Amino acid sequence: MPGIKLSEKTIGQIKTICSDFGNQGSELINVLHQVQGKLGYLPAEVQEVIAKELNISVAKVYGVVTFYSYFTMIPLGEFPISICMGTACYVRGSEQVLAEFKRQLKVEVGQSTPDGQFSLNCLRCVGACGLAPVVMVGEKVFGRVSPQMVKNIIADYKEGTAGEAKSA
Amino acid sequence: MEMINLTIDNKPVVVPYGTTILKAASGIGIDIPTLCYMKLDDMNIENKPGGCRVCVVEVKGRRNLSPACCTEVTEGMEVETHTIRAVNARRTVVELILSDHPADCLICAKSGNCDLQDMAHHLGVRKIHYEGEKSMYREDTSPAIIREIDKCIMCRRCETMCNDVQTVGVLSAVNRGFHAVVAPAFEMNLDHSVCTYCGQCVAVCPTGALTEVDETGAVIRALSDPTKTVIVQTAPAVRAALGEEFGMEAGTLVTGKMVAALRRLGFNYVFDTDFAADLTIMEEGTELLTRLSAFIAGDKKVKLPILTSCCPAWVKFFEHSFPELKDIPSTARSPQQMFGSIAKTYFADKIEVKRENLVVVSIMPCVAKKYESSRPEFSVNGNPDVDFALTTRELARLIKLGNIDFKALPNEDFDQPLGESTGAAVIFGTTGGVIEAAVRTAYEIFTGKPLPRLDFEELRGMDGLRKATIDFNGTPIHIGIAHGLGNARKLLEEIQAGKSEFHAIEIMSCPGGCIGGGGQPYHHGDAEILKKRQRAIYSEDTNKTIRKSHENPYITKLYEEFLGAPNSEKSHHLLHTKYFDRS
Ligand code: SF4
Ligand code: SF4
Ligand code: SF4
Ligand code: FES
Ligand code: FES
């Protein structure tokens, strides 16, 4: 994984969050939650700082980060794409939609495109089953998405004209 | 203490509150099978994640089967351990584990010693009714340990050893569900991690997921190369455990048979690491006395306590975690490395063999010794002082390959000059032994008087942390002993905080010391085996005529002919080392 260097400011932010939780190892999940909220993701270097502050092993921190799908080690793209894999969406073909996104963007789930524009993730039911299969780009919801529509969705964001009319 | 009444398989039992069903049952001779559970009595080591469910039993009134290893008894409980339902559930669990397990038994390094294999056999699994995807994970090879994580059954015993016992914190369960494995942070390879190669994870892994790097093939090639002179050294703890691999009772000393077997395998000279252990005492003991005398004379700069340095896992541990203390440990190399160094200089000259044509093999209870021998500072122009470090288990494999009937072998003696040793050297194999050996020599040199006694009971035992004060003829010397790196960490933190009261501290990474090393025959969680090995070591000491390192005649000769004096310039060059900051 490409090493990144954290700025003093970022390290300071992480340390503050840790000390807000009393530097307690048992607060790891809360700490991770807050740090991800602040930084958007949890790269290896961030996990190392957290481990040190909470006095637990990096392996443990990594264990928790990889256990919960909520946590991510990859910076979200400028346009984070999430595909619902809940039951309703799944039976109505979200898997094929996902496959198409992977093919178009040439990334796997949990990765970002090299230019940092898009990242791809899966979600559990987002509570819009009536619109299944559902895709979200950032906060925006796309309903009844078919593999054929994938290309257009991506193209819209690429041109920076995130379609106002496209959502169903 | 509150007592609980219950019945297990219709037999009434009374046990203290808080007892598990598993323990209550074993108390009345009922054996419930377990897989993930592990407990080493006397050492406070227990692993009970309750993950595998092989130990399920039926509890009257409960709808679900209960895991015996982590269910506490309650008043009036009625337990049945081997109902059809329980047995079937166990079999299903094992079949499910096997459905995601490479069926490699025939060629697996753990075959014959694998708890999963035993369990499948015990439960009579003959067919796997479940078919599913098999997880694939890359193999991770380091200088000492191989991780074949496809074979991991997530019992998490290794995690307990690495985190709770050793406090090294390399291993953790990562990922979820089907993809869950035990791995170092960021799933990096072991050799990029802070792993000490203590091998305690290997010692407890029930399957072939964690094993030592096997170098038996390389040794066989060296033995069959007519241009090479191949010599071997055997560490003290090996002789107290090797017999177990041939079905002998734990604690049987097999020194003489081991020597005979090595000779039959074709080693040109069979020597003893114990010789080098005596040499270690001369060097380390002298260093201790120099520091101690300076300290007593009021020199404020002198670094005390002095820490032993024979254990390579311990050395790597402080290099990673306590680099600011790296001036405190003795600079003496370990016996394995002292042996290699002397063999490839003094002995090579004696028999007129070029360094390149002399192959030094060591037999060690340890997997970290493989790593130690690969450290670049222990090579001369790319030629290592010790070419191959085999574990006790690997030696057993060689003996079996060589078709040698081990039990029927006669007792033979080591070759000279590097095979002579004292009782002080053999106790290096157990916790407390190195410091006792050092005391025997340091006392006599410091006081100029013969020791009134040779057995220092106060330094012996199995407690993880021990301390004792030995009277050096009016000067009290405070000694600390730790085995297991978690215990070592406590002593180091005291030193860091400037609160250490000790003059000298012995540290061994493995619980029990080298008798419990990561390369020893698998103890399968039975702490009694370690105690029997320990008794064997002390009995070999008692039976020796010479029991003080400085009285070993071949050591005296080595100094006269070659080294000069302990801590001389030549000794420093060949027998001492320096440590690195790896943080
Ligand atoms: S060898 Fe020791 S330090 Fe390394 S992973 Fe195993 S238990 Fe941890
Ligand atoms: S590597 Fe071995 S000891 Fe560790 S969890 Fe897997 S099977 Fe258990
Ligand atoms: S205690 Fe002995 S067996 Fe264990 S790592 Fe240290 S030297 Fe090796
Ligand atoms: S299943 Fe996709 S929104 Fe509910
Ligand atoms: S042995 Fe009890 S759950 Fe594994």
Q: What is the pLDDT of residues B188-231, one digit of tens each?
A: 999 999 999 999 999 999 999 999 999 999 999 999 999 999 99
Report if residue B517 sits inside a domain.
Answer: yes
Are B174 and A66 an interchain contact pair (Cβ–Cβ within 8 Å)?
yes
Set B187, B324, B377, B560: catalytic member: B377
Ligand 3: residue whose CA is nearest its atom 5: B198
User: Helix/strand/coil (H, E, C) string of B532-553?
Assistant: HHHHHHHHHHHHCCCCCHHHCH
CATH label of the domain that carries residue B32 = 3.10.20.740
Report if residue B15 sits inside a domain.
Answer: yes
What's the CA-to-centroid distance between B508 and ligand 3, angstroms? 6
Are B172 and A63 an interchain contact pair (Cβ–Cβ within 8 Å)?
yes
Strands B66-67 and A118-123: unpaired
**Angle, alpha carbons B365-B367-B369 (nearest 5°):** 85
Are B169 and A47 an interchain contact pair (Cβ–Cβ within 8 Å)?
no
- What is the arithmetic mean of pLDDT over A36-60? 93
pLDDT at residue A1, as a whole number: 42
B69 is catalytic: no
Does B52 sit in the ligand 5 pocket, CB within 6 Å?
yes
Beta carbons of B160 and B173 less than 8 angstroms apart: no
User: What whole-number distance in Å separates Cα of residue B184 and Cα of residue A77?
Assistant: 28
Which chain B residue has the Cα nearest residue A45? B186
B330 is catalytic: yes
User: What whole-number distance in Å separates Cα of residue B97 and Cα of residue B366?
Assistant: 30
Report if residue B127 sits inside a domain.
Answer: no
Ligand sitting nearest the alpha carbon of B32: 5
**What is A27-84 written as a DSSP string?**
GHHHHHHHHHHHHSS--HHHHHHHHHHHT--HHHHHHHHHHSTT--SSPPPSEEEEEE
- What is the arithmetic mean of pLDDT over B138-142? 90
For residues B321 and B447, state if they share a domain.
yes
User: What whole-number distance in Å separates Cα of residue B447 and Cα of residue B557?
Assistant: 24
User: What whole-number distance in Å separates Cα of residue B292 and Cα of residue B295?
Assistant: 5
Sheet containing B358-364, strands listed edge to edge, beginning at the edge strand earlier in sequence: B269-272, B229-234, B358-364, B388-391
pLDDT at residue A68, as a whole number: 85
* pLDDT tens, residue by residue, A60-101: 999 999 888 788 888 878 898 999 988 889 999 999 999 999
What's the CA-to-centroid distance between A133 and ligand 4, angstroms? 7
Are B172 and A1 an interchain contact pair (Cβ–Cβ within 8 Å)?
no
Report if residue B135 sits inside a domain.
Answer: no
Q: Which of ligand 2's atoms lies nearest the C-alpha of B147?
A: 1
In which band, very low, low, confident or very high, does the pLDDT at B281 lie, cut at 50, 70 and 90? very high
For residues B440 and B403, state if they share a domain.
no
| B435 pLDDT higher than 60 | yes
Segment 109-128 of chain B within 8 Å of chain A by CB: none
- What is the arithmetic mean of pLDDT over A94-112? 91
For residues B441 and B382, state if they share a domain.
no
| B290 pLDDT higher than 50 | yes
User: What whole-number distance in Å separates Cα of residue B514 and Cα of residue B235?
Assistant: 9
CA distance B179 to chain A (A): 10
Looking at per-residue confidence, does A168 or B68 come out higher? Answer: B68
On average, the pLDDT of chain B sits at 95
For residues B342 and B306, state if they share a domain.
no
- Strand-pair partners of B370: none
What's the CA-to-centroid distance between A156 and ligand 5, angstroms? 54
pLDDT at residue A138, as a whole number: 84
Which amino acid is it at A152? N
pLDDT at residue B265, as a whole number: 97
Of residues B470, B390, B58, B469, the one with CA closest to residue B223: B390
For residues B263 and B383, state if they share a domain.
yes
Mutate to test the interface with B, among A4, A52, A56, A62 (most CBs of B within 10 A): A62
CATH label of the domain that carries residue B432 = 3.40.950.10
Reported for B439-443, long-range contacts at CB under 8 A and 24+ positions apart, including other chains, are B439/B470, B439/B477, B439/B479, B440/B547, B440/B548, B440/B549, B441/B281, B441/B282, B441/B285, B441/B548, B441/B549, B441/B550, B442/B285, B442/B288, B442/B289, B442/B292, B442/B472, B443/B470, B443/B472, B443/B473
pLDDT at residue A124, as a whole number: 78
B148 is catalytic: no
Q: Which position has the token pair 């041109």?
A: A159
Are B184 and A47 an interchain contact pair (Cβ–Cβ within 8 Å)?
no
pLDDT at residue A3, as a whole number: 63
B377 is catalytic: yes
| B433 pLDDT higher than 80 | yes
- Pick A58's closest partner by Cβ from B173, B175, B185: B185
Of B189, B212, B235, which one is at a domain's C-terminal end?
A: B212
For residues B206 and B223, state if they share a domain.
no
Report if residue B581 sits inside a domain.
Answer: no
Q: Which of ligand 5's atoms lies nearest the C-alpha of B55?
A: 2
- What is the arithmetic mean of pLDDT over B258-283? 98
Residues of B in contact with A61 (CB under 8 A): 185
List Cα–Cα distances, B452 to A30, A95, B60, B393, B504, in angstroms: 62, 81, 64, 40, 21
- What is the arithmetic mean of pLDDT over B436-446? 94
Ligand 2: residue whose CA is nearest its atom 3: B205
pLDDT at residue B207, as a whole number: 96
CATH label of the domain that carries residue B380 = 3.40.50.1780
Taking the complete model, does pTM exceed 0.90, yes or no?
no
User: What whole-number distance in Å separates Cα of residue B109 and Cα of residue B104?
Assistant: 9
User: What whole-number distance in Å separates Cα of residue B206 and Cα of residue B120?
Assistant: 13
Residues of A in contact with B193 (CB under 8 A): 59
φ/ψ bin of A137: left (φ > 0), alpha (ψ from -120 to 50), beta (otherwise) = beta
* pLDDT tens, residue by residue, B384-402: 999 999 999 999 999 999 9
- What is the arithmetic mean of pLDDT over B227-241? 98
Ligand 1: residue whose CA is nearest its atom 6: B201
Are B186 and A56 an interchain contact pair (Cβ–Cβ within 8 Å)?
no
Strands B45-47 and B38-40: antiparallel
Of residues B140, B183, B141, the one with CA closest to residue B162: B183
Are B185 and A56 an interchain contact pair (Cβ–Cβ within 8 Å)?
no
Does B55 sit in the ligand 5 pocket, CB within 6 Å?
yes
Report if residue B582 sits inside a domain.
Answer: no
Which one-letter DSSP state was computed for residue A5?
-
Domain boundaries, chain A: 8-67, 79-159
Does A85 sit in the ligand 4 pocket, CB within 6 Å?
no
pLDDT at residue B178, as a whole number: 79
Looking at per-residue confidence, does B45 or A64 come out higher? Answer: A64
pLDDT at residue B81, as a whole number: 97
CATH label of the domain that carries residue B178 = 3.30.70.20
Of residues B344, B45, B16, the one with CA closest to residue B165: B45
Number of structural domains (chain B) is 4
Are A57 and B172 an interchain contact pair (Cβ–Cβ within 8 Å)?
yes
- What is the arithmetic mean of pLDDT over B402-408? 97
Residues of A in contact with B175 (CB under 8 A): 66-67
For residues B324 and B356, state if they share a domain.
no
pLDDT at residue B128, as a whole number: 85
Domain A79-159 architecture? 3-Layer(aba) Sandwich (3.40)
Beta carbons of B390 and B363 less than 8 angstroms apart: yes
Q: Which position has the token pair 């780009």?
A: A137
Segment 135-154 of chain B within 8 Å of chain A by CB: none
Question: Tokens in use for B38?
Answer: 């592990």
* pLDDT tens, residue by residue, B338-376: 999 999 999 999 999 999 999 999 999 999 999 999 999
CA distance A60 to chain B (A): 5
pLDDT at residue A2, as a whole number: 47
Q: Which of ligand 5's atoms lies nearest the C-alpha of B53?
A: 3
Looking at per-residue confidence, does B575 or A114 come out higher? Answer: B575
Which chain B residue has the Cα nearest residue A60? B172
Q: Residue B561 is part of which domain span?
A: 283-333+422-530+537-575
pLDDT at residue B43, as a whole number: 75
Residues of B in contact with A69 (CB under 8 A): 176
Inter-chain contacts counted by CB atoms under 8 A, chains A and B: 44
pLDDT at residue A160, as a whole number: 60
